[in-house]
Structures are given as C-alpha cells and as structure tokens.
A and B are shown apart, each in its own frame.
Chain A
Amino acid sequence: DSGVTQTPKHLITATGQRVTLRCSPRSGDLSVYWYQQSLDQGLQFLIQYYNGEERAKGNILERFSAQQFPDLHSELNLSSLELGDSALYFCASSVSLAALNEQFFGPGTRLTVL
C-alpha cells in the first residue's frame, strides 16, 4: 500500500457524460500527478499540481481539467466523455518538486465509457 488513495475504484458511464476522479496523496506529500493508462497510448502523464498550483501539463485533452485543494487532495474532471477515454487513471504523489523525489502511485480508477 503506497499511501495514495483514489476513488472510485471503478466507474462506468455513457458517452457525453462528466465524471470526477478523486485522489488523496500520501501524508506530507505536496505534489500530485495524474497519469492515464490505455492500451493504445500506454502510460501518459496528464497534469501535475504542487501545493495547489498547476506545475506541468502533458497530453491532457481540453475536455479534462484538474485541481488541487487546500487539503492537498486532487480531483480530475473528465467531461463530454468519448469511448476512447476508457482507461485506467492513476494518481501519484511525491514530497516536493525536487528531482530526486520518488513518485508513489495510487490503486487507480478504471473508467469505462459505453
């Protein structure tokens, strides 16, 4: 158990809908990362927050957005869902932005869009 929690574990929804994925980092970790894992794209970095501020964006669609709250938990919002958004979404956390900081991954949320 990495100490990173994600809810829900599974999510099944329809095209066009909007969902919110939630992540709580390890105690003391200020940085949160979101990654998407799919069969065709592999593991891709989406976005990173540090202490409430966005720090980096990867291959994140405009239909997707995220935020990190004062208590450091983060939410990833996915809207106008398409079939191709079906994937495993991971959250990871690390203590800071320092290059040496290891990232610890949560259990993931499996999103299925029908």
Chain B
Amino acid sequence: ELKVEQNPLFLSMQEGKNYTIYCNYSTTSDRLYWYRQDPGKSLESLFVLLSNGAVKQEGRLMASLDTKARLSTLHITAAVHDLSATYFCAVGRYGGATNKLIFGTGTLLAVQP
C-alpha cells in the first residue's frame, strides 16, 4: 500500500529564513504534486512534478523530485508571512483505471514576523 510521509508536521520559522519540507513515499511513482491549503479553504495546486530530477520554481518556493530516492522537497527561500499555510504533497497513483491521489500528512508552516 502506498504511503506518503511528510516532515516536519509543523514548522515555525522567521521571516527571511530558508527551510525545506520533505516528502517521502513508499512505492514507485513518477508523479508528485504539491498543494497549499489556507485554514478552512480548498487546496491550491502549486507544482506538478512528472519526472526524475524535475525542478520547478514559483516565487519563493522551489520543488524537486528524486524518483529513485522516492523523495520530493519543497524549499522555501526568504520566507514571508503570506506563505503561512499547510502544504501537502500527493503522489499520483495511476493504475490504468484511476489516477487518484494519496496525500501526505501535511506540514503546517507558520512564518513569524
């Protein structure tokens, strides 16, 4: 059974600092998604990583994928308060009849001024 683990679960950081969120998954997959969720809101798609070595950047966020290590990272550069949210990684489970997503536990990011 595919399992997706994120760490840390909670991250409190100061504005201007850098940090990385890690996403490990248990079985082979070449599709990895990162979503952002604000409290009580829906999931907003941030990145779609489709191949080994894929790297995508948007503003202060950069995501990468290493399919051999079954690891994706979300790196935050010079954090600002607006980045405070919960970040989820999700692994695409494509089995011919379905492409459902298996989500990680989420990382609650709190950026302090």
Contacts and interface: CB of A to CB of B under 8 A. Distances in A.
Interface of A: 2, 31, 33, 35, 42-45, 48, 55-56, 58, 88, 90, 94, 97-108, 110
B50 interface: yes
Given A42-B106, A99-B92, A100-B31, A56 B100 contact: yes
Interface residues of B, number: 25
Contacts, number: 61
Contacts of A103: 33, 45, 99, 101
B43 A90 contact: yes
A58 B43 contact: no
B25 interface: no
B97 A55 contact: yes
A99 B31 contact: yes
Interface of B: 31, 33, 35, 40-45, 48, 50, 88, 90, 92, 94-95, 97-103, 105-106
Chain B CB count within 10 A is highest, among A42, A43, A104, for A43
**Minimum-distance CB pairs A-B, first 4:** A56-B98, A99-B94, A43-B103, A105-B43
A108 B99 CA distance: 20
Contacts of B92: 99
Given A102-B33, A102-B48, A45 B42 contact: no
Given A99-B92, A104-B45, A55 B31 contact: no
Given A55-B97, A102-B33, A42 B42 contact: no
Given A102-B33, A102-B48, A97 B98 contact: yes
